[in-house]
Amino acid sequence: MGRPFLPGSPGHLLYNLALGAGLVVGAPVWIPWVLLSRKRRTNLPERLGLRGVPPPTSADGRPTVWVHAVSVGETLAAVPLLRLLRRRISDVRQIITSVTLTGRETAVKSLSGVTDEGFYFPFDLPGLCGRFLDRLRPDVVVIVETEIWPNFIAACARRGVPVVIVNGRLSQRSFAGYMRFRWFFAPILRTLRTISAQTVEDAERFIELGAPRENVTVGGNLKFDVSPPEIAASPLSGLLLREKAAGALWVVAGSTHDGEEADLLRAFLAAREANPSLRLLLAPRHPERFDAVEALVRREGVSMVRRTSIPEGAQRLPEPVLLLDTVGELSGAYAAADLAFVGGSLVPKGGHNVLEPSWHGVPTIVGPHMENFREIADAFLAGNALLRVAGKEELEDRLARFAADPSVFRETGRRAKDLLETFRGASEANADAVLSALSGREAER
């Protein structure tokens, strides 16, 4: 079977030699890359252990589970798992780490009262990873999806801390990349206690990459277990619903990327010629693009309003285009939508999660690029619960058909909502993998 990935092993030494050389040689590139970004500057001190490193965990007998979820999607997927672990072990200490600013913000918002501590994940430097582990003293480390940090995993192995991957996935592209360095990654995978993969296909890829078959299970996709979002009444949702009651048809385009808004806008304007009641809400994925999207809409000569410019207490919204330039209100917008478009899919960004509009029974359109949510997209397409377009021409056709007869699309939304109820259970399977590693750790003591 071969040796696991441990401190001092050939692979570990080679990795750190390459890492050190890369940091020195690449300094003229990575230092400005960090310093010129507000997001990266924000989490840099914490990731280096200079600020916000948690105090040593007290030895009070409580089991400690450290969950690492790199960004927003992984954090949201971890929510039902963490809630279930809390129910099954009432005194569990749960810690969550992120890499991105948006991931950290999502953790704070979604896991209040569920986790005990949260901070940024340390850089994969040998002494630094060990310092975090020695202060937190986790009984098990849980990595959501596929975040392979060699020094961190080696530091866990040295301390006998079991590492579990939950919701594990390997896209065809990632798998091909890892396979070129199978000699390096196979020992790392042999070091992991358990890999709970999303699908049989993912499981077989992990095994082919070098994970022992007996350590790999199929636990399903945690993202299917995300509970329906609670939509609190807000000025925006109330405004959208009033417009809807007055006859407006809302097309909500969420998590859009550069290159998508222009195609959406043109398709919308063409469809609106046939049905003037059509309205468009644009919600760019990245806040730094709000101004650029506003400029795009105004260049087309279209009347629009930004969410932050709507007067408090406004009762009507005469503009045909609304730019959602806030964070945290997209779910409420989906709830009021008649048709949704989920971005990152018309351009090659891998797509975003279609579950939120589906929970509201909203018919949803995506483009051809859904690699990051392959299993979800395939399941919904197979169930005729998702509308997929090949490009901007087909998008124009779909919006034109929607404008002509919205009722034809409603059945797609209903099927999506019904389908979601049949995909439950991943939280239980993944929680079992974590608890098995936790009980094994206790038995070893």
Q: Which are the catalytic amino acids?
A: 74
Q: Look up residue 14 and give its two tokens.
A: 């080679």
Q: What are phi and psi of 301, to 5 degrees?
A: 75, 25
Classify residue 431 by burial, with Cβ atoms within 10 Å: 0-12, 13-18, 19+.
buried
Distances (CA, A) of 437 to 88, 116, 186: 15, 20, 20
Dihedral sign computed on CA atoms, order 406, 412, 417, 418: positive
- SS3 per residue for 415-430: HHHHHHHCCCCHHHHH
Q: Specify whether the CB–CB gap between 366 and 351 falls below 8 A.
A: yes
Q: At what angle do helices 72-88 and 426-444 cross, to 10 degrees?
A: 60
Please, what sign has the CA dihedral across residues 237, 243, 249, 251? negative
Contact 254, 342 (CB under 8 A): yes
Query: Shortest CA distance to 430 belongs to which of 198, 181, 88?
Result: 198
Element (H, E) at 208: helix 200-209
Would you say 182 and 209 are in contact if contact means Cβ atoms under 8 Å apart?
Answer: yes
Q: Give the residue among 115, 132, 53 at the shortest CA–CA distance from 78.
A: 115
CA distance 27 to 192: 32
Instruction: Using the structure block, give the residue that is written with the tokens 């979601």.
Output: 420
167 in helix, strand or coil? strand
Q: Considering only CA atoms, which of 121, 137, 117 is closest in space to residue 58? A: 137
**CA 166, chain centre distance (Å):** 14
